[in-house]
Structures are given as structure tokens and as C-alpha cells.
Amino acid sequence: MSALGYGILWLLFRVVGQIFLRYRTIGAEHIPPKGGVLLAANHASYADIPLLGCGVARRLAFLGRSNLFPNPVLKWMLRSLGWIPLKTERLDRQAFGEAIKLLKAGKPVVIFPEGTRTPNGKLQPGKPGIGVIVAEAECQVVPVYIGGTYKVLPMGSSRIRLHPVVVTFGEPISFSEDTQTYQGKAFYEHVSRTVMARIAELSHVGQSATPV
């Protein structure tokens, strides 16, 4: 999809979010204006992708479950928007390779370290896949907490509810020095634990800033 098409959708979701969900962001200045960076966010709802995307001035690519959208036309549209289909039942080297290639080319990529939506609104343990990407792309990670989307569209629901949404961005995390202490699987798990801990910290910031 062209930059114009992406921009129109970005603006549409931003305006709709502000009008109906009192949408706001905190800490967007932490997102590097250029260069490859991995944004790692909690995952509570199908609404996470558009509401995270419209909070970032840069065009994003998203890693998402490959069987999420069975309709081939819809899948084509989402691919053109930057969706990277990810097979979650195993380590998907093809999808990770695509993400790593984009990061090395200076593009921002979004990953949901939990691997799937939360069934109860609470954070789940992160998976080590994020560590694989960080190790190979040698990129920084910006932790993100998306607050309120579980109330807007929880798992199993098809009805959108009006509830305030706050997206909080944390300071970038660099793991370059940690490679001297951790290797292989230990490094992957260290990255996952560290990122999820930062996301948990940001959840308190977002909750305190959510309008009543």
C-alpha cells in the first residue's frame, strides 16, 4: 500500500480513537525518529495493532499470527500494510528473517512477545522469539504498554465497547552489552524477561493516566 493510503488509515484510526476512545499516547518521544527499532507491546485485543500504529509517526511493520485472517483478499491488504504472517506453533525463521531484514534496513517493527492475546487482561510470560530477533538484528527495543484495549474488544467478543485507551512508550532498551554475559537460549530468555518486566512497569504509568 502506498504511503498515502497508509497515512489516510493512520489518520482515520487516530481521529476515531480520539473521538470515541479518548485515545492518547505517553512517551512517544522515546521512539527513535530513524533507524531500525523493535517495538514490543502487550497483546490484549485485535484493536492493539491499529491503536498502536496510529500512535507512531513512522510506518510500522507488524509480526502477527499467520492464521489470524483466513480471507485471502484481507490477507493481501494486511500484507500491503506491513503485516508479517508468523507461524506461532514453532520458531518461524521465515517471518523472523523478514523482520530482521526490515530492522537492518532501518525500519521499525512491532512484535507482541506474549505470542497471543491475553484471555483475562493480565500480562502473560514473554516467549524467547523476541530474543532471537534482537540477537540477529542487533537492535534496540522500545517497550510499549497498550492500556484499555482489553475493555474495548476482549478475546471472544465481536462487539466494540467504548473505553479510554492509553498507549505508553518506554525508553529504548539496548542489549548490546548483555551479549557478554548471556549466550544463545539464555540470551533470548533474558531479553524476553527484561522486556516483559519493562512493559509491566509501563502498565502502571498507563493506568494512572487513563481518564475516568
pLDDT digits (tens, 9 = 90+) for 101-130: 999 999 999 999 999 999 999 999 999 999
pLDDT at res. 187: 97
Residue type, 60: L
Half-sphere exposure of 156 (CA within 13 A, CB side): 4
What is residue 114's three-state secondary structure? coil
| Domain range enclosing 78 | 3-209
pLDDT at res. 122: 95
pLDDT at res. 76: 73
pLDDT at res. 153: 94
pTM for the model: 0.92
pLDDT at res. 3: 84
Number of domains making up the chain: 1
Q: What would the mean pLDDT of 12-18 be, rounded to a whole number?
A: 96
pLDDT at position 73 over 80? no
Q: How far apart are CA 52 and CA 111, in angstroms?
A: 11
pLDDT at res. 88: 77
pLDDT digits (tens, 9 = 90+) for 176-196: 999 889 999 999 999 999 999
pLDDT at res. 1: 66
Look up the CATH number of the domain holding residue 28. Answer: 3.40.1130.10
pLDDT digits (tens, 9 = 90+) for 140-158: 999 999 999 999 999 888 8
**Residue for cell digits 496510529?**
54
Helix locations, 89-210, DSSP H? 93-104, 129-137, 149-152, 184-209
